[in-house]
Amino acid sequence: MRRATVERNTKETQIKVAVDLDGSGKTEIATPLPFFNHMLDAFGRHSLLDLTVAARGDIEVDGHHTVEDTGICLGQAVREALADRRGISRYGDATIPMDEALARVAVDFGGRAAFVYQADGLRGRKVGSFDAELAREFFSAFAHAALCNLHLEVQHGENAHHILEALFKAFARAVRAAVAVDPRDANVPSTKGTLTA
């Protein structure tokens, strides 16, 4: 079973994340940040991962710690659920429109962390009370905890809500493709023979 649960408890946050890579997109999301809840729900539904997130944090400071630490926990949970990464497709990419916005995401669960984020149009912007720049912190934390290459690019867009939603849905579809089991190859998809060392 490709499942994992991760808990992180610090003076700043208390977070529990559970994933099932072979789910159907069922989600239970509870953070103190409503827009972030919306994005995590979209991620679960479009990735087809069953996803449970329960997070509390010092949002009286701001949402940074809660968002970043949720990304860490989600990345760790996906990494643990992938185990030795045997039989996975490994790579995934998606280009997703959301009204006038267009985002492209590519991921490689190859066992090394690398992160590229091109979304200059989100600098200094908010969606409701959510600081749009926190998306970068979430995705970066995920990439480093999951040990994956993660590239995100906003090709165009004006509305910050649309841009963020396109990013999260493209992220979901890319992850969905990459963690999928390849029925033609049950081996580790690497010429090295390992993706965890």
CATH code at position 15: 3.30.230.40
Two tokens at 51? 């996803």
121, 154 Cβ separation under 8 angstroms: yes
Phi, psi (deg, nearest 5) at residue 191: -70, -20
Q: Can you give the pLDDT at residue 133?
A: 97
Q: Is residue 96 part of a domain?
A: yes
Q: Can you give the pLDDT at residue 154?
A: 98
Residuewise pLDDT in 10s, the chain (197 residues): 899 999 999 999 999 999 999 999 999 999 999 999 999 999 999 999 999 999 999 999 899 999 999 999 999 999 999 999 998 999 999 999 999 999 999 999 999 999 999 999 999 999 999 999 999 999 999 999 999 999 999 999 999 999 999 999 999 999 999 999 988 877 777 778 777 86
Q: Is residue 150 part of a domain?
A: yes
Q: Is residue 187 part of a domain?
A: no
Give the pTM. 0.95
Gap between the Cα atoms of 35 and 131, Å rounded: 10
164 DSSP 8-state letter: H
* Structural domain containing residue 52: 3-179
Q: Is residue 24 part of a domain?
A: yes
Gap between the Cα atoms of 21 and 48, Å rounded: 7
Half-sphere exposure of 105 (CA within 13 A, CB side): 30
Q: Is residue 28 part of a domain?
A: yes
Cα separations in angstroms, 32 against 36, 62, 64, 129, 142:
8, 11, 12, 11, 19
Q: Is residue 165 part of a domain?
A: yes
Q: Can you give the pLDDT at residue 68?
A: 97
Q: Can you give the pLDDT at residue 70?
A: 98
117, 139 Cβ separation under 8 angstroms: yes
Q: Is residue 193 part of a domain?
A: no
Q: Is residue 184 part of a domain?
A: no
- The 3 state secondary structure assigned to the chain is CCEEEEEEECCCEEEEEEEECCCCCCEEEECCCHHHHHHHHHHHHHHCCEEEEEEEECCCCCCHHHHHHHHHHHHHHHHHHHCCCCCECCEEEEEEEECCEEEEEEEECCCCCEEEEECHHHCCCEECCEECCHHHHHHHHHHHHHCCEEEEEEEECCCHHHHHHHHHHHHHHHHHHHHCECCCCCCCCCCCCCCCC
Gap between the Cα atoms of 42 and 93, Å rounded: 17
* Domain tally, the chain: 1
Q: Can you give the pLDDT at residue 188?
A: 74
